[in-house]
Structure 1
Amino acid sequence: MSDTNLKAHDASLTGPRHGIPSYRLRYTPLERLAVERPVDRIATIVAACAGKSVLDLGAMDETAYKSKRGQGVWLHEEIAKRAKFVVGVDNTSGLPVEGLATAPNAKIERGDIFDLDGVLRKLDFTPEVVVAGELVEHLENPLAFLRSLRACAPLKGARLILSTPNATALHNCLIGLIDRESTHHDHLLILSYKTMTTLLTRAGFEQWRLVHYHSEFAEMKLRNSGLRRTAIVCGERMIRAAEWAFPLLAFGLIVDTTI
């Protein structure tokens, strides 16, 4: 993707942030929400990390490491292409005890994302940007996680970019009409615009920017070829067009805030 396109995506995260008290939800069913047009998830997050030292939480997607490398769909790998330096933190069993070098400027270390103070002091690393891509939906207590970030002294003042699937995503609404649901077996929850706002507020964040991101059926496209892959690409384009018209139905959410 060209630098021009990346800058265009990054612009979606540079406007005024909404928060308390500058933007307050009434939590009534028919209130109009201040939503923007959806963006591309990976390109937007990568652009926010360009030239920065980055802490990538939950970086070791084992499926991605085995099958998505070099495909432009593994977030950690794409961040490393533009960032100054990337340290991933994960405690998955598939990660070697000594960690894993993923690029000349990137590595993934074994560590507990709920004990980042200890991890960062051990590594002597202070990030400018913290990324939690598709992570909170895997956690038993996302509120405790967000509060732990704010309580971590080495992260004070760092930019936080968080992404997660959207509870009101169009593709799930559509297949729900035929008694289907698309959900990863490791997901413990799914958030919406309002529930994410509630989490941020209760975690103590004061201002943030909340942007939806487009559908990307990367794994389906990687698993299929020929006419099947063409059908998936066409379906993805149609869903993206509908997401552009109705942003609350987009695939997921990106939060941009300061710790």
Structure 2
Amino acid sequence: MMFDDCIYKYLQGENLSTGKKIRISCSEEEILDRTNLLVNIVRGKKIIDLGCADHLEVIDLKIRNNTWLHKRLCETAEFCVGIDINEKAIEYIKSLGYKDVLYCDILKDKELILSQNNNYDILVAGETLEHIDNPVLFLKTLRELYKENIDYLLISVPNAFAIKNFVSVFNHLEFINTDHRYYFTPYTLAKILVISGFTPIEFWFVNYYEPPHRRFYSRILFKSKPGFRDTIVMISKF
């Protein structure tokens, strides 16, 4: 989906509404899954994978299941450098044979990152923004540092409208990764991107994993109401 020119006036703060209704989805025949979508977008591109390690404890399991994002990105991108602030995870990834991975902070180690390649097509930030204390400050700084070196920012974040959240609330529960600071909607994600100087281009509702075919009713729901999927992917111009 794409925001129209009318919505951009709200994103940019030119217009204000305390009850604006925005169409964010329509029925789809295909259930998109997050990994395959990201992999297809970066195919043949030069990319940075921010937060490439995921969680150290689950790397081996995800490799066995072919769901570790960094591995999948490396298989399809022309060039992929992974960066992470988890030193132990980076050392482990290197031991697996991945050479183009760096233990560094993207906001502090620009020279090191650009020493691998001076220009990139896409910066991939998969499930990263929700872990950051001040996402607007982070995004503003990121854009100011790399606007001459990177063309697009590709983000995936938890969807506030995910059906699992509604089911949990129905049962008086909150279902949460305890390191998360935020959930996002398409509008709120686009809003902080615009405030930070980026230009959102397109977004998708995806599932982190594709539901098994045996989950017939889940598949019907996710096709007819994509907004209930658990993840939002958005691509923006630097």
**What is the TM-score when the length of structure 1 is the normalising length?**
0.76
Deviation at 1:45, TM superposition (A): 0.4
Deviation at 1:76, TM superposition (A): 0.8
Q: After superposition, give the CA deviation of every residue in 1:77-105 in whole Å (9 maximum; x if it has no partner).
A: 1111111121111011423569726556x
For 1:219-238, what aligned pairs fall within 5 Å after superposition? 234-235=214-215, 237-238=216-217
**Rounded Cα–Cα distance in structure 2 between residues aligned with 1:211 and 1:116:** 31
2:235 is aligned to 256
Query: 1:131 and 1:153, CA in 2 relative to 1: closer, same or farther beyond 3 A?
Result: closer
Determine which of 36, 39, 45 is the counterpart of 1:52.
45
2:118 paired with 1:118:
no
**Rounded Cα–Cα distance in structure 2 between residues aligned with 1:202 and 1:153:** 16
Determine which of 94, 97, 101 is the counterpart of 1:100.
94
2:139 is aligned to 146
**Rounded Cα–Cα distance in structure 2 between residues aligned with 1:93 and 1:123:** 18
2:151 is aligned to 158
Q: What is the identity, as a one-letter code, of the residue corresponding to 1:58?
A: G
Deviation at 1:184, TM superposition (A): 0.8
Query: 1:33 and 1:96, CA in 2 relative to 1: closer, same or farther beyond 3 A?
Result: closer
Unpaired runs of 5+ residues, structure 2, are: 11-15
2:167 paired with 1:182:
no
2:70 is aligned to 76
Q: What is the identity, as a one-letter code, of the residue corresponding to 2:139?
A: L
**Rounded Cα–Cα distance in structure 2 between residues aligned with 1:250 and 1:19:** 22
Identity %: 22
Query: 1:120 and 1:34, CA in 2 relative to 1: closer, same or farther beyond 3 A?
Result: same
**Rounded Cα–Cα distance in structure 1 between residues aligned with 2:151 and 2:120:** 7
| Aligned residues of 1:214 and 1:240 also touching (Cα < 8 A) | no
Deviation at 1:255, TM superposition (A): 0.6
Deviation at 1:215, TM superposition (A): 4.8
**What is the TM-score when the length of structure 2 is the normalising length?**
0.82
Q: Cα RMSD over matched residues?
A: 2.8
1:18 is aligned to 3
2:222 paired with 1:243:
yes
**Rounded Cα–Cα distance in structure 1 between residues aligned with 2:193 and 2:157:** 13
Query: 1:182 and 1:98, CA in 2 relative to 1: closer, same or farther beyond 3 A?
Result: closer
Query: 1:22 and 1:122, CA in 2 relative to 1: closer, same or farther beyond 3 A?
Result: same
2:22 is aligned to 32
Q: What is the identity, as a one-letter code, of the residue corresponding to 1:69?
A: I
1:195 is aligned to 188
| Aligned residues of 2:213 and 2:219 also touching (Cα < 8 A) | no
